[in-house]
Chain A
Amino acid sequence: MSAIDNLRARFGLSPSPKGKQDYSPSLTRYRMERIWLTPLYKFLVRTGLPLAVVLAVAWSHFSKEENRIQLMQSISSARAMIEDRPEFSVRLVEITGSSATVSEQVREAVSMEFPISSLRLNLKELRERIESVDAVERADVYLRNGVLEIQIGERKPALIWRGQSHLELVDASGERAGVLSSRKGYHDLPLITGTGAQDHVNEALVIWAASKPIVNRVRGLRRMGERRWDLVLDRQQIIQLPVRDPVAALERVIELHEARDVLGRDVLVVDMRDGRRPILRLSAPAMEQLYRLRAIADWEGKT
């Protein structure tokens, strides 16, 4: 405070306007400061307000249809620009590890137009599509140097299943491995038939293996009543196998055949369903012959 201000103060005058301002905060400033020090206000002003402004601007901008469309367009064009670069293009598909017919099926399943951007390829989905082809057990799909490589593991047909109108190839796990119109080329595969036959391929294969000694006579296996197998031989002979332990029963029949040549005789059915003994059904002439022989034996016995 200068001397002149002292004088002014003594005479009750306000200090000169150029004099020092009162250092104490005004009531408004003091209140503002206190509001500012309140955590909620501080948060609202520092974080809430900018956030609200940004959101409001964004909302008002995108509430207009053309702005939204423009944004979508610019996004998709940017995306397309990146995707269409030559570094990402796929020009060829290369299928390995499969026969010509399967390759053709796979090519059909892939059915793409090349070139295509690798970014648009969904390899997982593609692989699932390829694996849905019957003859394909496993497919590896990968991209290398712009070439889509598909490595195929084919299903190995183990059996032929005959349905009412067509033939199907079936692999060892019971999966369908292809459809045939004739057995040409697959004569060495066992034929199975009957409803539910595909679901018990393992059993069929084991029975087939057990029937090795009479293999040149076996025509096929028939699933009966969805529970047991019949082994069908030529000359319309049938070996009826039990539900439980069919292989042992078959081996027993084969033993019998080797010892007594059962299957070489005029027998229609060898019924092994009763576990205790085999039951044979003879053809009608054979039956007649049997009766005649028995009558002769009876007569000879009486005399």
Chain B
Amino acid sequence: MPHLYETQRAMRLRRRAALQRGVVAILDVGTAKIACMILQFDPSVQMDAQEDMSAMANQGAFRIIGVATTRSRGVKFGEVTTMEETERAIRTAVQAAQKMANTRVDHVIACISGAEPRSYGLTGRVMLENGSVMDYDVGRVLSACEVPDYGHGREAVHAMPVNFALDHRSGLSDPRGQIGNFLSVDMHLLTVNASAVENLLKCIKRCDLELAGFASSAYVSGVSALVEDEQELGAACIDFGGGATAVSIFLKKHMIFADSVRMGGDQVTNDISQGLQIATSMAERIKTFHGGLVATGIDDRDMIEIGGDTGDFDRDRRRISRSELIGVMRPRVEEILEEVRACLDGAGFDYLPGQRIVLTGGGSQIPGLEGLASRILGQQVRLGKPMRIQGLPQAATGPAFASSVGLALHAAHPQDECWDFHLPSAQSGAQPLKRAMRWFKDNW
């Protein structure tokens, strides 16, 4: 964990530098599209943030000055498979966004949708030294968490203190200054596949960009698509992406669980392409234009031309009815939702006070998904669009941009993570020296 702590801390420093410069880019590398947004921060509002404010509060006044999306290439299941291609796609998006913003960005905050996120609940408990909770104690209790052996080749992206408890009082969000004997913390740790992350980082680095932050798309789409009450009372956000469907559960304004299903809109397109024997691009087209999940009588008569670009234009005039298309799409969507259900069951979503489920992401635009999802996942399902942020063009307000917008919000108001606190002593070598210096200062 020290290694991770250092890298994440370095990223926080870079993020601070980027905010001081006033411009930071966010990059959502998805399977279907790559979105790049350039945020401009208002320096006058930033002035309020003090040096010692670990929460990085009051850095919220930003607007979006450049947005670009491009077709994603070389990404499968939310993971980079062909670096060269992905790098080109990132370059395309970043260049277009820079052109729109008419400024150059050097710092980028990225999110990744796949990479097999796994979440762990950690608890730590320390005895307080002087009867009340100091800043130092918060760091101490965080470092006292027993970190599970999450395996070689995995890396933590989020480690958020979700809940503090002081003696028998639980549910504290900020225990500092309070009086008690034992401080314990519940921390949510999210790990992802390290190689997937490193591949993405390499792509970003090859575009001459510096990484100033990294987030899981499950988390950030929850941040943007869930309203405040839902985050408070407990809700699940399901982000139907192209290659992966991200699931995150929020409670008390903190993410307590995240997972992703390695299936998404691309699999639906694939099914159409294979089932109807047409090209992928055509399949994608008829999916978006005519797709649906609930067949009615009129759909039998609604004929769709699927004559592909196969070369013999004269003969290939195939037509299918819309109900046939629905018949292809529905099983796959059902399968995805079943997987999501399994994720939620594994996380114990049923025991949360709120049972709200919010569907977002590009795949959530399939007509009839809401009904299907409510049948599989539970009664309280709604379709969520990301919240509005300043300067966002109309074209980028759809549910497909939930994680991009969430990443922008995350860039402006990051939640406290474990590495925002000064972890005590023992791990770093400079500390004993410092202690010796202090001893000299006190005694001479």
Which A residues lie at the B interface, using CB under 8 A?
2-3, 6, 22-25, 27, 30-31, 33-34, 37-38
Contact = CB atoms under 8 A, between A and B. Distances in A.
8 interchain residue pairs of minimum CB distance:
A24-B88, A37-B104, A3-B311, A24-B92, A30-B91, A25-B95, A38-B104, A34-B104
Nearest to A4: B311
Contacts of A2: 309, 311
B208 interface: yes
Interface size class of B (residues with CB under 8 A): 10 to 19
B243 to A, nearest CB: 20
B98 A37 contact: yes
A61 B98 CA distance: 42
Contact of B208 (A3, A22, A23, A34): A34
23 contacts: A2-B309, A2-B311, A3-B310, A6-B279, A23-B92, A24-B70, A24-B88, A24-B89, A24-B92, A25-B91, A25-B92, A25-B95, A27-B91, A30-B95, A30-B207, A33-B95, A33-B99, A34-B98, A34-B104, A34-B208, A37-B98, A37-B102, A37-B103
Interface string B204-219: 0011100000000000
A23 B99 CA distance: 15
Interface of B: 70, 88-89, 91-92, 94-95, 98-99, 102-104, 206-208, 279, 309-311
A25 B88 CA distance: 7
A33 B208 CA distance: 12
B42 to A, nearest CB: 19
A199 to B, nearest CB: 70
A22 B311 contact: no
Nearest to A41: B104
A141 to B, nearest CB: 62
B97 to A, nearest CB: 11
Contacts of A6: 279
Nearest to B310: A3
A21 to B, nearest CB: 12
A31 B208 contact: yes
Contacts of B311: 2-3
A44 to B, nearest CB: 14
Nearest to B209: A34
A38 B95 CA distance: 13
B24 to A, nearest CB: 15
Given A6-B279, A34-B98, A38-B104, 9 more contacts: A3-B310, A23-B92, A25-B91, A25-B95, A27-B91, A27-B206, A30-B95, A33-B99, A37-B104
A165 B176 CA distance: 107
A39 to B, nearest CB: 8
Nearest to B96: A25
Most interface-central of A3, A24, A25 (chain B CB within 10 A): A24
A153 B92 CA distance: 87
B83 to A, nearest CB: 13
Nearest to A30: B91
A209 B70 CA distance: 109
Contacts of B98: 33-34, 37
A110 B182 CA distance: 107
A6 B99 CA distance: 33
Nearest to B207: A30
Contacts of A37: 98, 102-104
Contacts of B91: 24-25, 27, 30
Give the residue among A25, A33, A34 with the most B Cβ atoms within 10 A. Answer: A34
A144 B94 CA distance: 73
B91 to A, nearest CB: 5
Contact of A3 (B88, B89, B103, B309): B309
B278 to A, nearest CB: 13
A2 B311 CA distance: 8
B279 to A, nearest CB: 8
Nearest to B94: A30
A23 B70 CA distance: 10
Contacts of A3: 309-311
Contacts of A23: 92
Contacts of B70: 24
A27 B92 CA distance: 10
A38 B21 CA distance: 13
Nearest to A6: B279
A2 B312 CA distance: 12
Contacts of A24: 70, 88-89, 91-92
A30 to B, nearest CB: 5
Contacts of A34: 98, 104, 208
A194 B383 CA distance: 116
A33 B89 CA distance: 16
A23 B93 CA distance: 11
A161 B311 CA distance: 126
Nearest to A22: B88
A5 to B, nearest CB: 11
Contacts of B92: 23-25
